[in-house]
Amino acid sequence: MANEFAIQILADGPRNSVVKLTGVLDTSNLAVTTAIDLSTLNQGGTGPTPTAVRIDKVYYSISSQLQLQLLWDATTDKTALNLIGYGKMSFYKAQGLQNNAGTGKTGNLNIITYGWASGTQLFTVYLELMKQGANL
């Protein structure tokens, strides 16, 4: 079996999106992969496409062997979050975790894992996002 990575958009409204990321890794770590592509967060093609998202909440469960990073996509990707184990984080009261990627910032969010050595390793990441940009 080969590694599997899946993205599910659970909700996509005019201002908010909820996305679930899942992975089953049985051959290697997940290389840098686009996790949140802004072009898919436009209410099924009926709404405006955001230019950025902020992370309001994250819930995660990651096999003990793995470490997972969420990266703001840019010329040089910038770490948004490092995730190990399981838990939840809320940035809502602090007005969300903002994209501070700098030069070449696309607004997309990437994912990468570290630590796979053997066996089948799993992860699930649930993100509550606030859309940002013109016309929102």
10-residue block means of pLDDT along the chain (136 residues)? 94 96 97 96 90 97 97 97 98 94 95 96 98 80
Instruction: At 81, list the tokens.
Output: 């979050």
Q: In the prediction, which pLDDT does 136 show? A: 65
Q: In the prediction, which pLDDT does 30 show? A: 97
What pTM did the predictor assign?
0.95
In whole angstroms, how far apart are CA 83 and each of 48, 60, 110, 121, 135?
Answer: 31, 8, 13, 14, 32
Instruction: At 51, list the tokens.
Output: 């230019």
Burial-class residue 42 by CB neighbours within 10 Å (0-12, 13-18, 19+). middle
Structure letter (DSSP) for residue 43: G
**Assigned CATH topology for domain 4-131:** Jelly Rolls (2.60.120)
- The DSSP bridge pattern shows strands 109-114 and 33-36 to be antiparallel
